[in-house]
Every structure is written in structure tokens, then in C-alpha cells.
Chains A and B, each alone.
Chain A
Amino acid sequence: MTPQREQDLDGLLEAYLAGRLTGPELTAFERRLAGEPALRAELEAQRRIDAALRGAFAAPELSGVLARAQVAVAAGRTPASVGRVPFGRRPLVHRLLIEAGVAAVIGLLIGGGYLFWQSRQGDGPRRPALVEQSLGDFYAARAQVDFAPDWECPPDRFYRTFDYRLGQPLLMASAPGVTMKGLAYSNTLSPHTVNVLAKVDGQGVIVYADLAETARPARVCENSGLRLFQRRLGPLILYELTPLDAPRVLDLLYIPSGPPAGSGG
């Protein structure tokens, strides 16, 4: 393939993944996809790579960077001499002031956190006393009710549920053939597991999301006929349990840079 054709193909993959192909262009590209397994493989690989990059290179909170730079400038330091400003070199009065400030912030966070926790007791989905069960058992139970979620989720509630339950907001991109039905809680990886219930090409698929550090090992019965795929996303571990040959939902989940538009923060 010539460099120009490679560039054209990449442009098409990018436009398709970004949902920018429409009308006859979209129809023609999907027809090509249906007839070219190699192109489908390229598309799938690119989608996974993009998702991995967005997860791995989500920008951290950077307000501290500017604050440190301002402290350095106020202290008359030159760029070459500045790393993270070393605590031990500050005058005693500065250190005491900073320590007092840190203590005050910690106190406010603890107090505010407690008030927030109290305020949430009567709001949002209650934490039921969930029975510990395997991923397969949870899947089988949901299959009996056609993968009905505990609640349907517009993007802002999806975002807030993950933020509230696991401390890491998530959003889910759309993709052809994938319908997100909603969310449910389970005690499969821990008592705090959040489940995304979806239909992929008409088949039920469940994603189990939990904190990687505290999640129990995933278990699936060998003869369940289901396949298990996993992905690490920030502090979360995600498993997709599916009757299909490849994961279709895992890579649609991503760490957003902020709340979805229209959520009011």
C-alpha cells in the first residue's frame, strides 16, 4: 500500500470511529467493512489503541503545578534550580503555615466528606445488602430477565454512578450494534461492583467494574459457554462477560475529562 493510500485509510478509520462518516460515505465504508475481514481487524485494533491512549494519557489534576511554579517565582528561583519545591528548604515560618493549611484542608475534607456521606443516605440508588455471587451466576440471573438493568442511565447519571460508587467517573461511547441498557450493582468482584448491561448484536453482554486493588479474582465456569475479557482503566479493573468471540463494550468505556455536557457539573 502506498503512503498516500495508507493515509487515506487511516483518515477513514479515524472518521468512522469519531462518527464523522455519514450518508453514502458511511454506507460505502460499512460495505467495505462487511467484506474485508482485514479492514475490520484494523478498525478494531485502532479502536482499542485509541481507548488505551485516552485511558493512559488522561491528564492529571494540574492546578498544583501552577501553584508550585508561582511559589518558585515568588521565591526568586530560576527554572534550572526548580524541581518539585523541596519542603525542607523552606523557612520554619513558611513550613508551619503550610502545615497548618494542610491540616485545615484535611479537616475540611473529612468534615465535608462526612456531611456529603450523610446527605447521600437518602438519595440515589441505595446500597442493598448484596449476596456474593460469581460473574457467571450474575450473568445467568440477568439473562432470565433479558438483561434488564436496575436503572437506565443517561450519560450524566452514568458518570455520577461510577464517581459515587468507585471514585472514578466513567462514560461510554456509542458504537454500531451496541446498546447500553443501564447499570446494576452486584457483589461479584467486591460488594461495590458496578455492572454495565448491554446488548451487542442482540446478545446480552455484561461488564463488571471495580477497583483493581480490592477486587476479588474473576471466576467463570469452564462450561458456561461465555468468554471473559479484561481491561485496566485507571484505578479500575473491567471484565466483559460475553457469548461473543471478542469484547465489544470494554473499549467503549473511557475516563472523561469532565462531566458530560448538560449535566450541570
Chain B
Amino acid sequence: MVGNGNSQSGAPAGRPSSSAAADFAARFQASARVLWLIAVGIVGDRARAEDVVQEAAIVALGKLEQFQAGTNFTAWMGQIVRFVALNHARKEQKASLVHDREALEQSIRSDRSNGQSGELRLTRRGELPPDQEWFDDRVVRALKAVAEIPRACLLLRTVEGLEYSEIARLLGIPEGTAMSHVHRTRRMLRERLAAMQPGGGRAKDTQE
């Protein structure tokens, strides 16, 4: 167990005992992927997500005595990650939202003007054009226009395959809200990516 509500003996104030720290480390490693996904969902950037998880770990190490044995460690830690991540996100929210919308619109215009679709356009010599963009990049760019919590819901569901009840617990929202965030975000992404097809149409199937 990480903590039991009592202060740990034998450790300086504010520092966990070695056994509690070892237990924390084991639990942290088991939850790390989910914690990172919460962070990257909220801050929208892989490197910053690592900073967030690190900062949350420091906060948690200072509050180990608050963790109740028998409760869900990932949920407790996820709450800390969420608060830290939201603090990070708020600092840059205004600028990044404007910037991201502009970036998204720019990318859609650029993709349309380049005539990009899923199939590669080869040059006359049968080589790839140097400015070939990647579908994956377009998905990531489109995701930047999504708000933090819906984005985190989508990633936890799609990448980690968590149940909606678990996502709801981690993010402190109702289960139905987690589900509708995921569905709405998926639909939005499909529409955005369809809009990037030449002519703004849907995928080739619709032309059959």
C-alpha cells in the first residue's frame, strides 16, 4: 500500500518512507501510460505531457499520506495529473486555441490545394513528391482543434481501450459525458478529414 492516512515513520517531513516510495513507484509504473494519455489529451503535446506527469508525480510524492489504501491509485493519481495538466493548458489556452484554429484551417486549405488524398501522387519518374503529407499528421492536427477533456476522453478510449466508467472516474465527469465526448470527437474528426479530401467530399466509397 502507498499510504494509510497516517504519517510514515522514519522519513523526513514531506518525504515518503523508502517502502512507501517503492510501492508508489510500482503503482506509478503500472499506471504511467494512462496518466500520460490524460496529460497529452489535455495539453496536446507529447513533450509537455511528460513534464506534466513528472510534476504530478512530485505533487503525489508529497501527498502520499492522503492516498487511502484500498482505493484506486490510478484514479487518485489521474486526478492530480488532470489538475496539473489543466494548469499547464490554461497558461497557453487563449493563444493556442487561436493559433490551432488558424493552423487547422491553413492545413485544410493546403491539403485541398495540393489535391491530397489517401493515394500517393507519384511524379512522372514514379517518385514521391517531396511535400507529401501524412494522414497521421492530418489527424493530429485536426485533434488540436478539440477541447482538452473531449480529447483526453478520445485518447483514453482509442489508445488505451478504457471503459467509459473508468474514463469518467479518471477525468471527474459523468459516464454519459465521457461517451458523448468520444462519439462527438470521432465524428468531428471524420468530418474534418473528409473535408480535407479534394473537393471537400467524402472518401472514394461515396463516389461509387
Contact = CB atoms under 8 A, between A and B. Distances in A.
A218 B122 CA distance: 9
Contacts of B51: 83-84
Interface residues of B, number: 63
B135 A46 contact: no
Given A53-B158, A69-B58, A60 B50 contact: yes
20 contacts: A7-B180, A37-B205, A45-B190, A46-B186, A49-B139, A52-B135, A53-B155, A57-B46, A62-B32, A63-B32, A65-B32, A70-B25, A73-B15, A217-B127, A219-B127, A222-B122, A222-B124, A230-B128, A246-B119, A257-B33
A142 interface: no
A58 interface: yes
Contact of A82 (B54, B122, B194): B54
Contact of B58 (A18, A37, A72, A230): A72
Interface string B149-172: 000001100110100000000000
Contacts of B159: 53-54, 57-59
B132 to A, nearest CB: 7
B40 A57 contact: yes
B118 A247 contact: yes
Interface residues of A, number: 60
Task: Determine the main DSSP class of B at the interface with A.
Answer: helix
Contact of A10 (B139, B187, B193): B187
B120 A228 contact: yes
A227 B203 contact: no
B42 interface: no
Interface in B82-137: 84, 118-120, 122, 124-128, 132, 134-137
Given A50-B158, A74-B15, A230-B132, A44 B55 contact: no
The 3 closest A-B pairs by CB, nearest first: A69-B57, A41-B205, A52-B139
B127 A10 contact: no
Contact of A70 (B61, B127, B182): B61
A77 B53 CA distance: 16
Contacts of A42: 190
Contacts of A59: 32-33, 36-37, 159
A221 B126 contact: yes
Nearest to A54: B159
Given A49-B186, A257-B33, A66 B25 contact: yes
Interface in B20-34: 21, 25, 28-29, 32-33
